[in-house]
């Protein structure tokens, strides 16, 4: 099974440690796993979304942060990646990696960004990060960027969520961000 691939194991361990940290302060926290069909620790591109939706973390969800989930955000992400050929060596994660009841507040974004900082050393080949949305962009700029030296190229863009993708200009801008990431991945 894909979950047993060596490139996935460090991320599964990371997620388990994150879940343990989170549930100490927030019993019942839900943190979906990385999609084992993605690049794992071999990722060169990281797409950072806002937070897990119900189709990744809810009772009917897959249990994974995945472009294969049955929701509009996953569908838009998959479609745009497919249009530009951004498949190989790519990983999707969230600035707030646990399920929320609504939009994240500044403290949740800060806490999530601290977890994302812990993830980055597990991705030694990372060349580009696409922050897809307002929360990922602000979380990166305030809580990750100041601590990086010689980090990956960062591209800020729109969320692949239904509201933003219903606006052709925002969809086109996210597609261009994915195109740029495709070129940087090589």
Task: Give the pLDDT confidence score for residue 142 in this predicted structure.
Answer: 97
- Return phi, psi of residue 63, to 5°: 90, 0
Which residue intervals of 39-103 are DSSP H helices? 54-57, 72-84
Q: What digits encode the pLDDT tens for the residues 75-125? A: 999 999 999 999 889 999 999 999 998 899 999 999 999 999 999 999 999
Domains in the chain, please, with CATH?
2-185 (3.40.470.10)
Q: What digits encode the pLDDT tens for the residues 128-161? A: 999 999 999 999 999 999 999 889 999 999 999 9
Mean of the per-residue pLDDT values of the chain: 94
Q: Which residue pairs from 79-85 have beta carbons closer than 8 angstroms and sit at least 24 positions apart in sequence?
A: 80/160, 80/171, 80/174, 80/175, 80/178, 81/178, 83/175, 83/178, 84/175, 84/178, 84/179, 84/182, 85/182
Task: Give the pLDDT confidence score for residue 101 in this predicted structure.
Answer: 87
Task: Give the pLDDT confidence score for residue 3 in this predicted structure.
Answer: 65
Pair 104, 135: CB distance under 8 Å: yes
Task: Give the pLDDT confidence score for residue 2 in this predicted structure.
Answer: 61
């Amino acid at each position: 099974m894909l979950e047993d691939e060596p490139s996935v194991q460090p991320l599964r361990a990371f997620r388990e440690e994150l879940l343990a940290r989170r549930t100490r302060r927030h019993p019942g926290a839900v943190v979906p796993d990385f999609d084992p069909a993605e690049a794992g620790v071999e990722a060169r591109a990281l797409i950072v979304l806002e937070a897990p939706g119900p189709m990744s973390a809810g009772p009917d969800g897959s249990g994974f942060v995945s472009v294969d989930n049955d929701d509009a955000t996953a569908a838009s992400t998959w479609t745009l990646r497919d249009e530009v050929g951004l498949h190989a060596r790519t990983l999707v994660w969230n600035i707030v990696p646990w399920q929320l009841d609504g939009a994240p507040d500044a403290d949740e974004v800060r806490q999530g960004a601290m977890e994302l900082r812990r993830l980055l050393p597990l991705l030694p080949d990372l060349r580009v990060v696409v922050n897809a949305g307002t929360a990922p962009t602000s979380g990166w700029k305030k809580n990750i960027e100041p601590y990086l030296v010689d980090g990956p190229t960062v591209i800020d863009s729109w969320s692949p969520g239904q509201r933003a993708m219903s606006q052709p200009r925002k969809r086109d801008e996210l597609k261009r961000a994915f195109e740029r990431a495709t070129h940087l991945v090589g």
